[in-house]
Amino acid sequence: MCGIVGYTGKRCCVSTLLEGLRRLEYRGYDSAGLAVVENQGLTTVKNTGKVEALKDRSAERWPDFERCEGYTGIAHTRWATHGAPSEINAHPHLDDSGKFAVVHNGIIDNYLELREHLRGQGCEFKSDTDTEVLSHLIAKCYQGDLLHAVAAALNKVKGTFGLAVVCSEHPDKIVIARRGSPIVIGVGNDETLVASDISAIASYTKRVIFLDDDDMALITPGSIEIRNIENVPVSREIAQIDWDVSAAEKNGYEHFMLKEIFEQPQAVENTIRGRLDKSAATAVLNGLNLEPREMAMINRIVIAACGTSMNAGLVGEYFFEDIAGIPTDVEQAAEFRYRNPIIEPNTMVLAVSQSGETADTLAAVREAKNKGAIVAGLNNVVGSTIARETGRGIYLHAGPEIGVASTKAFTCQVSALLMMAVLFGRGRRMNRTDGENLINEIQQVPNLIQQVLDRAPEIEKIAIKYAKAEDFFFIGRGCMYPTALEGALKLKEISYIHAEGYHAAELKHGPIALLEEKVPVVALANNIPGRDKVLANIQECAARKSPVIATATDGDADIASLVQDVIWIPECSRFVAPVPTVVALQLLSYYIARERGCEIDQPRNLAKSVTVE
């Protein structure tokens, strides 16, 4: 993995490929490359490092990108899985003849077996990647028909792939295929584009086709032929995407992450807009496609997610149990499919994923469907695989999230989970007055976030004070416990500081042994249930000389004397408090990382969308 772009049309393809790769940079990568069909041959340019460096190297081959003779090409940004980051391991990969070039996201599970077989047939391998077997395998299967060759090769493959293939003998054709890794086709005028993410092609067309698993397509400038891997024609609809390309620009902010932190009032407003019904004191979530009677029959919820989305799900667990009275479990999605989960009748499995393409979460969706669960998705990307395969759920409408470390997706996920809990709660035990109160609180969330953002300079000063620390602990209770987990995750993702989140009660069960004056503790001590016990935990930290940064509710007269620094949070209930609090922790993490000189938008070793297990 990580990013794929392809173009065939009437224009020189180099500039389009490079621009597409630039728009995919946010996904994280360590090398990049492109292959162009020109002069009845293939020209490849590859390098480690940034797309800008690839652009410079490409200019050595094509001094004027608009006048080259190549009108079909593919390109890739790689995030290393098999083989270290290097120019040899970068995509595209060619066969021995140099006729076929492949770019690939995913993992070929049986690549060692295939490689040994191909070596026995005289193939020479140059890289350490699993992808290179594809180029040689396609070449061996080729008998003049490119689509058939790719299909024959993929029928020998075990694993996951989103791939694009070009051949020097077919200068106006690209073959693409997917299994477990997304591929989208952009339908233009006398040109066709492909990508692993619509952000790469949205500036060229708003008409797209999403491939399903085991779909293949042969594309030319004016045609798209879609088949499955068994070579049977299939039909896929053209969708119209609503993607604001300007939303994927920094617009004056130093980093995408900072921009997205400050976009959160509007992002949450977009998530809740039109979904709160004051007259009925409930939420309106038509995408769930559940009648009141069906909702009333759901007696258990399982939330499957990874990373930040799992932390949001842990907050949602409190919502569903406290508000709706529905027993709820949060499963690490990668474990869900392998531990043979018990799914009883009337269980809902809710798959939470910003991208809607997370491989482990998608696998959990399929396992849940096989076990007869009601399956819904909570995603941000319209047309994503999880959204299409579940067929029901909630779109966040948070807008593009470019920074690798998720920010506005988390706050929008929590807001959506709270609305969902209100909907289920009103169908069960929640009275009208409590429903009205919660709706009023949800409507205030954008304003609460804005109040925290207005205090960014104060948070920045605190961050600079602690930027040299190498260890942090985050502690909280109740729904502030998963908020602490998310705060620790944000800090470690972008600053590379060792940070751990704990339930505050767990301090004395081991972690307290690590506390000393060089180890700051961030204590979530908002004025909600559990606060008094958190204050006791703060005193335990102070007794070990650990400096404490507390989040506290405006007007808390007791907290200042117990801690070194306070981040003030507007007064709000326990159900909405995680949202403004996590925004404060995002800012704290951002300013610490900036002070340390870290590469914030593209942290080392991380990818935006994890499309392999």
Q: Which two tokens stand for residue 68?
A: 């080259």
Count CA atoms closer than 13 A to 603's CA, side-chain side.
23
Amino acid, single-letter form, for residue 228: N
Q: Is the dihedral of CA 370, 375, 380, 381 positive or negative?
A: positive
Query: Quick one: which of 130, 153, 607, 214 has its CA closest to 385?
Result: 214
385 Cβ contact partners less than 8 Å away, ≥ 6 residues apart: 182, 210, 213, 356, 357, 362
419 Cβ contact partners less than 8 Å away, ≥ 6 residues apart: 272, 275, 276, 283, 285, 394, 442
Residues 409 and 537: beta-carbon distance below 8 Å:
no
Fill in the DSSP letter of residue 389. H
Q: Which helix (H) or strand (E) holds 257?
A: helix 256-262
Question: Is-catalytic flag, 99?
Answer: no
Q: Which residues pair with 43 in a beta bridge?
A: 36
Query: Quick one: which of 82, 83, 95 has its CA closest to 150?
Result: 95
CA angle 420/405/204 to nearest 5° reads 90
Count CA atoms closer than 13 A to 45's CA, side-chain side.
19
Fill in the DSSP letter of residue 286. G
Overall residue count recorded for the chain in this entry: 613
Give phi and psi for 22, each to the nearest 5. -60, -40
Q: Reply yes or no: is the peptide bond before residue 547 cis, omega within 30 of 0.
A: no
C-alpha span between 84 and 94 (Å, rounded): 18
Q: Which two tokens stand for residue 508?
A: 């004395």
Per-residue b or e along 541-561, where b marks 16 or more CB atoms closer than 10 Å to that residue's CB: bbeeebbbbbbbbeebeebee
- Catalytic annotation, pick one of 46, 259, 492, 608: 608
Question: Is-catalytic flag, 167?
Answer: no
- Catalytic annotation, pick one of 2, 13, 306, 479: 2
Residues 108 and 130: beta-carbon distance below 8 Å:
yes
Q: Which residues pair with 301 in a beta bridge?
A: 328, 348
The string of DSSP codes covering 68-123 is -S--EEEEEEE--SSS-S-TTTSSPEE-TTS-EEEEEES-BTTHHHHHHHHHHTT-
**Strand ranges in 413-556 using DSSP code E only, listed in sequence order:** 471-476, 498-503, 521-524, 548-553
Q: Which two tokens stand for residue 600?
A: 């914030």
- Would you please indicate which residues are annotated as catalytic (active-site) residues? 2, 608
